[in-house]
Amino acid sequence: MANQQAVFTRANNVCELCGSEQGLTLYMVPESPNDSDNCAIAACATCTGQLNGDTDVDVNHWRCLNEAVWSPVPAAQVVAWRMLKQLESETWVQDLLEMVYLDEDTQEWAKAGLPEDREPTLDSNGEALQAGDNVHLIKDLNVKGANFTAKRGTPVRNIRLTQNPLHIEGKVNGQTIVIIAAYTKKG
């Protein structure tokens, strides 16, 4: 079992993800090869709550991963990489993931904790959509809360995938909106 004091000392008594000194707890990294100090991190209450799914994920809080993913501690790298994969629909996350390097063993450990392959996001023709694709609308869509209608044929460039495989995000008329993927066509 990991020694809390040893992990806190290694972390200089701050969260190894966001740097907060408040409400530190020992966070055992799921799917770890063992339960030693090397498989645990010091995490604040905010990070722990979101990692465990007790609270909603606050995307802006996780901007701290710009630093954490480069930690010399493999357990911190693993947790940071997994959270980045969860937030992969964000443009800044996509850019960071392109730069991140994990050694082979750490990468294997990180992937072990990811959920099985998620269902693909498909357009109206059943073609799989990827983050960054360009699509156009195949029908008029009333945009709730924005008081406009996105017309059929409107291009939506550089889309983002969401946690829900039935939806995508994209900009229409300068506003980021959630669009049902089946109402779009790739290309």
The contacts found for 69-72 with CB under 8 angstroms, 24 or more apart, are 69/96, 69/100, 71/16
Domains belonging to the chain, first-starting first, are: 4-112 (no CATH), 121-186 (2.30.30.40)
Query: Phi and psi of 37, rounded to 5°?
Result: -60, -30
C-alpha 148/C-alpha 19 separation (Å) is 42
Is residue 113 pLDDT above 90, yes or no? no
Sign, CA torsion 27/15/78/64? positive
Instruction: Supply the DSSP symbol for 120.
Output: P
Whether the full predicted model's pTM is greater than 0.75, yes or no, is: no
Is residue 76 pLDDT above 90, yes or no? yes
Is residue 26 pLDDT above 80, yes or no? yes
Whole-number pLDDT of residue 115: 64
Whole-number pLDDT of residue 23: 94
